[in-house]
Amino acid sequence: MVGYGVVMIDSELAAEAVHVLNRYFRLLDERSFEVARFSEVFDSKGVVLRPNGTSMVGPGEIVESHRASFARFAATQHLLTGHDVELEGDGVSVRANLVAMHLWGENPHGVIGGPDDFFIAGAVITASLLPTSSGLRIAHLSNVNIWKGGSGFGSMAATLGKP
């Protein structure tokens, strides 16, 4: 569909792209670190580029890196908003705003007593998704921090991945 010189994306395709991106962050927060689950959102050669410049390729490597990285947190919450979906080649691209909260260590009640208890960041997420026989899958996802607060910045930078 074309309107005012802009190519409009099919609403079902846009909804699927938003769903896939949201599902990835849900898997993180629920700590569902199974390759089969990540294969439902990532292409077999899908790439995640972290804010520190490290990258992971493929659902297996992504799962192992996240499992190791998230072991240090009592809980996480990733809030995405402002999804902007556009056609991109054979697939779609999504840009979204992210607020990511991470509670350090053992904290079964999720209580923040001070700045040493958490790490929080505001970021921009960009993702390219490609169609497969099973639906859209993330081919590339980039996470760029805009702001951050709390503690443990050095520890957050020391995450598994390839430079």
Describe the strand order of the beta sheet including 135-150 as a list of residue ranges.
55-57, 42-49, 135-150, 118-132, 91-104, 73-88
Q: Would you place residue 110 in the very low, low, confident or very high pLDDT band (cuts 50, 70, 90)?
A: confident
pLDDT, mean of residues 128-145 = 97
Nearest one of 40, 61, 63, 51 to 138, comparing CA atoms: 40
Model confidence, pTM? 0.88
Q: Is the pLDDT of residue 97 over 60?
A: yes
